Amino acid sequence: MKHFIEILDHEPAELEHILSVSADLKKRLKNGIADRLMLGKTLGMFFEKPSTRTRVSQECAVVSMGGVAINLESSSRLGEREAIRDVARVMSRYVSLLSIRTFGHELVKELARWSDVPVINTLSDYSHPTQAMADIQTMREHVGDTAGKTLTYIGDGNNVARSLFSICAKLGVRFACATPEGYELDKEFLSYAEKCCPKAEILLTNDPALAVKEAAVVYTDVWTSMGQEKEKSERIKTFAPYQVNAELMAKAPQRALVMHCLPAHRGEEITDEVMESKYSVVFDEAENRMHIYRSLFALLLGER
Ligand code: CP
Ligand code: NVA
């Protein structure tokens, strides 16, 4: 594995390996075993959008393995002061790994194309693959084997939805997705994903009640993603029938888990009641972000 940019780039066995290393390193960490797999190693993190979990979980992952994380703050947008291909090659002379959270997905791909060190996509407008990995780890911790179980996503056909679709399609998890009309997953992604995973079991609908019917997990994300703030008032109106609330959860199987990548806009896509219910595992997901990064860093550095 050279980079971690897109779930669909990887074979199921490789994704399973990342998950199993993550679970193993997590268990060892909880048992007080310090796996110093990044001694003398550095991670450079580009952030062109805000972050809490992604920044702190990466930093803590690196520190826990004896390395150093550097936040690559910049007063200008990436590619503005100098070409990405130059930034990539300069950074490759200093750091052991690079991660990037940005708007355009092309920028992530361009960085990876020119970087001599592994690059990790920590969210673009297109996808959020490290989130989806942590989500599947969380689902497995709670429901055991995920094969043939359904993960239902309710809301915007956005970066998080694409990555969840991808991980489910790759690992044999059934994926149901309810979006408002006009906010569906885009056709280009769908045809590529279906080509990569022809056997995937997918339900795409505009009806949230239908989507949650067989859900082992009901998952949602913000209606207005970072960068879409101008559309917020229109989106709040359009997405209102897609709120994950007690009424919708009553249509799901009784013990369905509730997941959310966070940050949550309580009272919009999810109610306080559902977020605080005993089936909500949102903070386990947040924790697993760190374990997935520990696994990815170790694997990309050839230390596992
Ligand atoms: N879920 C997630 O990526 O959170 P942050 O935006 O806080 O990093
Ligand atoms: N879809 C959200 C995810 C945040 C983690 C966004 O891109 O803002």
Active site residue 235: no
Amino acid identity of residue 208, one-letter, is P
C-beta 95 within 6 A of ligand 2:
no
C-beta 221 within 6 A of ligand 2:
yes
Residue 117 · residue 146 · CB < 8 Å: no
Residue 63 · residue 69 · CB < 8 Å: yes
Query: Given a cut of 80, is residue 139 above it in pLDDT?
Result: yes
Span from the CA of 32 to the centroid of ligand 2 (angstroms): 33
Please list the residues that pair with 119 across neighbouring strands.
98
**pLDDT, tens digit, for every residue of 11-31?**
999 999 999 999 999 999 999
**pLDDT, tens digit, for every residue of 265-283?**
999 999 999 999 999 999 9
Question: In the chain, what percentage of residues exceed pLDDT 90?
Answer: 97
pLDDT for residue 77? 87
Residue 131: both structure tokens together:
């989130």
Active site residue 289: yes
Given the residues 125, 135, 156, 221, the one annotated as active site: 221
Mean pLDDT of 230-256: 98
Q: Which atom of ligand 2 is nearest to the CA of 221?
A: 1
Distance of CA 70 to the CA centre of its chain: 21
| 150-154 vs 97-101, strand pairing mode | unpaired
Given the residues 10, 235, 260, 289, the one annotated as active site: 289
Query: Given a cut of 90, is residue 147 above it in pLDDT?
Result: yes
Query: Given a cut of 80, is residue 74 above it in pLDDT?
Result: no
Mean pLDDT of 179-197: 98
Q: Which atom of ligand 1 is nearest to the CA of 261?
A: 1
| Pick from 10, 286, 5: nearest CA to 171 | 10
Ligand whose nearest atom lies closest to the CA of 131: 1
C-beta 52 within 6 A of ligand 1:
yes
pLDDT for residue 12? 98
Span from the CA of 226 to the centroid of ligand 2 (angstroms): 6
pLDDT for residue 20? 98
pLDDT for residue 76? 80
Query: Given a cut of 80, is residue 149 above it in pLDDT?
Result: yes
Mean pLDDT of 227-233: 97
Given the residues 10, 53, 125, 131, the one annotated as active site: 131
Ligand whose nearest atom lies closest to the CA of 290: 1
Query: Which residues 6+ apart lie within 8 Å of 20 measured at CB?
Result: none
Instruction: Tell me whether the omega of the peptide bond preceding residue 253 falls within 30 degrees of 0, making it cis.
Output: no
Q: In the structure, what pLDDT confidence band is assigned to residue 43 with cuts at 50, 70 and 90? A: very high
Q: In the structure, what pLDDT confidence band is assigned to residue 75 with cuts at 50, 70 and 90? A: confident
pLDDT for residue 215? 98
pLDDT for residue 73? 78
Query: Given a cut of 90, is residue 44 above it in pLDDT?
Result: yes
Query: Given a cut of 90, is residue 303 above it in pLDDT?
Result: yes
Q: Which residue CA neighbors atom 4 of ligand 1 most closely?
A: 53
Domains in the chain: ranges and CATH? 7-128+289-300 (3.40.50.1370), 131-285 (3.40.50.1370)
Distance of CA 211 to the CA centre of its chain: 21
Q: In the structure, what pLDDT confidence band is assigned to residue 286 with cuts at 50, 70 and 90? A: very high
